[in-house]
């Protein structure tokens, strides 16, 4: 509030208080007073905004240049309505036409980025914030309590998806930059600071989508489950001892330093692995991943993940998430010793200890000894053999590296499970992508950057 004169604010506050006191009824509790004050201030805001727009909408020139190179002439002040954070505001602004091209325009709309009949940028930011947190239907009820007026489910959907479209546009600009040799060389010359150790974890989660009907054809009656591929760039910091939780204390008992992810940046898409690889490279360039002292990738055993890492960051350290590897051992133990819990636990403890010490060959041999009579064990011989060098956990700990990819699993839950998989959610593929990308921007702390990016784009975008 420092940019406003405190004395003027005090005078205005007194006027509002006097106005509200006139309607105050005896016996009202503070909640009713708060609600009434909100309604009063909303109306004050709506009328004040209308006055501002009306004042700025006065004609400044009788003629203005047209985009086509011709000349437009002042016609008069025409009304327009926009939906703002205060509700619907109707204002009058100078309108010009008469050019041979047949077009007309209102300079005020272009100046203030107003689109008649649509929501303002400020309201759009709030609607899309609700849309990435709740179902579009629930968002409407939630927003009504805060805004004190109703917005339609379709409006919330449109604004949420628009933010996701903007995130996609920004990512595509990054992708185009990251393929330009001149831009990459410029980055090297600028020598921007890069993290000493940067991590990236990659995973995927399934979301239900409905295929879009082709033109002239009836809608297909089936649904698809599509992989939403997710990645997160992050750094780590030690967790202070006063903030240790049960899982942190468990790590300490096995001589692992409790750490947490910081400076997280998420990205996601529903696409093939080749296109996702371009997104991986582009977002990595934004984080100066190619210039880090140590670059570490974490993931499960999915081949597409490691193929992407090898293609785009071949010199990075590759680590299979410890908890995924541990889970594979648990599956083998349950399958091989289903009838004997004691043997199951004994085998599992020995195998986990060997894996923890990076003795992957011993783990492979332990699975091989069970493979003849256990399909799960036979399957995991290949799993541990294929990822042996990504499971040298003793060496990774000696290098003071994090060996868990929980941060991307959490990201998948927050983006896919907590939003795309809400009860009754039905998505077209584009809608799922845009909503997921908007939510990823919020989780990455990029929301204000995205809002500023939108404000800088041409009005038609």
Indicate the pLDDT class of residue 456, thresholds 50, 70 and 90: confident
- The backbone torsions φ and ψ at residue 239, rounded to the nearest 5 degrees and listed phi first, read -85, 125
Return d(Cα 177, Cα 184) in angstroms, integer.
8
Considering the domain architecture, whether residues 266 and 195 belong to the same structural domain is answered as yes
How high does pLDDT run on average in the chain?
91
Considering the domain architecture, whether residues 214 and 316 belong to the same structural domain is answered as yes
Considering the domain architecture, whether residues 315 and 388 belong to the same structural domain is answered as no
Asked, for residue 44, whether it belongs to a domain, the answer is yes
Q: What is the mean pLDDT of residues 378-388?
A: 96
Considering the domain architecture, whether residues 109 and 244 belong to the same structural domain is answered as no
Among 352, 372, 393, the domain boundary falls at 393
Taking 90 as the threshold, does the pLDDT of residue 29 lie above it? no
More confident residue, 1 or 220: 220
Top mean-pLDDT range of 26-40, 345-359, 416-430: 345-359
Considering the domain architecture, whether residues 2 and 60 belong to the same structural domain is answered as yes
Instruction: Give the pLDDT score at 380.
Output: 96
Q: Are 268 and 274 in contact (CB under 8 A)?
A: no
Instruction: Give the pLDDT score at 289.
Output: 94
Instruction: Give the pLDDT score at 460.
Output: 47
Among 346, 371, 393, the domain boundary falls at 393
Asked, for residue 166, whether it belongs to a domain, the answer is no
The answer for 73, left when phi > 0, alpha when psi is -120 to 50, beta otherwise, is beta
Q: What is the mean pLDDT of residues 84-96?
A: 97
Asked, for residue 59, whether it belongs to a domain, the answer is yes
Asked, for residue 137, whether it belongs to a domain, the answer is no
Asked, for residue 246, whether it belongs to a domain, the answer is yes
Share of the chain above pLDDT 90, in %: 76
What's the full length of the chain, in residues? 461
Q: Are 120 and 84 in contact (CB under 8 A)?
A: yes
- Among 140-149, 238-247, 291-300, the range scoring the smallest mean pLDDT is 238-247
Instruction: Give the pLDDT score at 1.
Output: 47
**Among the listed residues 230, 242, 410, the one whose alpha carbon sits nearest the alpha carbon of residue 305:** 230
Return d(Cα 153, Cα 432) in angstroms, integer.
16
Return d(Cα 412, Cα 406) in angstroms, integer.
10
Domain enclosing residue 383, as ranges: 324-393
Give 87: exposed, middle or buried? Use CB within 10 Å, 0-12, 13-18, 19+: middle
Indicate the pLDDT class of residue 26, thresholds 50, 70 and 90: confident
Asked, for residue 398, whether it belongs to a domain, the answer is no
Indicate the pLDDT class of residue 240, thresholds 50, 70 and 90: confident
Considering the domain architecture, whether residues 311 and 352 belong to the same structural domain is answered as no
Q: Are 433 and 415 in contact (CB under 8 A)?
A: no
Return d(Cα 316, Cα 284) in angstroms, integer.
12
Considering the domain architecture, whether residues 278 and 350 belong to the same structural domain is answered as no
Q: pLDDT per residue over 313-359, tens digit each?
A: 999 999 999 999 999 999 999 999 998 999 999 999 999 999 999 99
pTM (predicted TM-score): 0.89
Instruction: Give the pLDDT score at 192.
Output: 78
- Among 197-201, 244-248, 296-300, 444-448, the range scoring the smallest mean pLDDT is 244-248
Among 358, 373, 393, the domain boundary falls at 393
Considering the domain architecture, whether residues 349 and 212 belong to the same structural domain is answered as no
Considering the domain architecture, whether residues 350 and 418 belong to the same structural domain is answered as no
Instruction: Give the pLDDT score at 218.
Output: 62
Instruction: Give the pLDDT score at 210.
Output: 81
Q: What is the mean pLDDT of residues 253-277?
A: 89
Indicate the pLDDT class of residue 244, thresholds 50, 70 and 90: confident
At CA 232, angle to CA 432 and CA 204, rounded to 5? 50
Considering the domain architecture, whether residues 438 and 315 belong to the same structural domain is answered as yes
Asked, for residue 144, whether it belongs to a domain, the answer is no
Taking 60 as the threshold, does the pLDDT of residue 215 lie above it? no
SS3 state at 222: coil
DSSP structure class, residue 256? -
Considering the domain architecture, whether residues 316 and 328 belong to the same structural domain is answered as no
How crowded is residue 48: how many other Cβ atoms within 10 Å of its Cβ? 12
Asked, for residue 338, whether it belongs to a domain, the answer is yes
**What is the tally of structural domains in the chain?**
3
Indicate the pLDDT class of residue 69, thresholds 50, 70 and 90: very high
**Among the listed residues 287, 273, 286, the one whose alpha carbon sits nearest the alpha carbon of residue 176:** 286
Taking 70 as the threshold, does the pLDDT of residue 176 lie above it? yes
The answer for 439, left when phi > 0, alpha when psi is -120 to 50, beta otherwise, is alpha
Considering the domain architecture, whether residues 82 and 208 belong to the same structural domain is answered as no
């Amino acid at each position: 509030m420092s940019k406003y004169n405190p004395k003027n604010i005090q005078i205005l506050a007194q006027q509002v208080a006097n106005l509200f006191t006139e309607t105050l009824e005896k016996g009202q509790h503070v909640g009713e007073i708060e609600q009434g004050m909100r309604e009063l201030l909303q109306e004050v805001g709506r009328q004040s905004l209308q006055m501002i727009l009306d004042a700025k909408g006065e004609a400044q020139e009788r003629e203005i240049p047209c985009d086509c190179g011709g000349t437009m002439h002042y016609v008069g002040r025409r009304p327009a309505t926009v939906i703002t954070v205060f509700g619907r505001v109707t204002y009058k602004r100078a309108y010009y036409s008469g050019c041979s091209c047949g077009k007309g325009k209102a300079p005020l709309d272009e100046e203030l980025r107003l689109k008649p009949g649509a929501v303002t940028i400020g309201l759009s930011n709030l609607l899309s914030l609700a849309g990435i947190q709740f179902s579009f239907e629930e968002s409407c009820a939630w927003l009504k309590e805060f805004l004190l007026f109703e917005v339609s489910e379709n409006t919330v959907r449109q604004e949420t998806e628009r933010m996701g479209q903007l995130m996609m546009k920004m990512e595509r600009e990054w992708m185009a930059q990251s393929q330009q040799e001149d831009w990459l060389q410029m980055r090297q010359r600028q020598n921007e600071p890069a993290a000493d150790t940067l991590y990236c974890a990659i995973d995927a989660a399934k979301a239900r989508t409905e295929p879009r009907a082709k033109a002239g054809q009836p809608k297909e009656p089936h649904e698809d489950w599509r992989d939403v591929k997710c990645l997160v760039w992050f750094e780590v910091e030690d967790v202070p001892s006063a903030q240790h939780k049960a899982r942190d204390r468990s790590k300490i008992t096995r001589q692992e330093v409790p750490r947490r992810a910081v400076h997280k940046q998420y990205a996601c898409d529903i696409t093939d692995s080749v296109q996702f690889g371009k997104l991986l490279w582009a977002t990595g360039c934004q984080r100066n991943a190619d210039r880090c002292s140590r670059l570490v990738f974490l993931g499960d055993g999915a081949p597409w993940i490691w193929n992407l890492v090898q293609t785009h960051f071949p010199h990075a350290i590759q680590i299979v998430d410890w908890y995924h590897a541990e889970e594979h051992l648990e599956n083998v133990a349950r399958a091989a010793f289903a009838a004997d819990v004691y043997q199951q636990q004994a085998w599992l403890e020995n195998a986990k200890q060997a894996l923890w010490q990076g003795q992957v060959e011993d783990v492979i041999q332990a699975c091989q000894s069970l493979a003849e009579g256990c399909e799960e064990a036979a399957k995991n011989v290949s799993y541990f053999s294929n990822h042996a060098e990504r499971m040298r956990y003793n060496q990774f700990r000696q290098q003071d590296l994090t060996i868990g990819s929980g941060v991307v699993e959490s990201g998948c839950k927050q983006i896919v499970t907590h939003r795309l998989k809400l009860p009754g959610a039905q998505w077209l593929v584009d809608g799922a992508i845009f909503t997921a990308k908007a939510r990823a921007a919020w989780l990455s702390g990029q929301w204000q950057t995205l809002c500023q990016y939108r404000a800088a784009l041409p009005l038609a975008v």
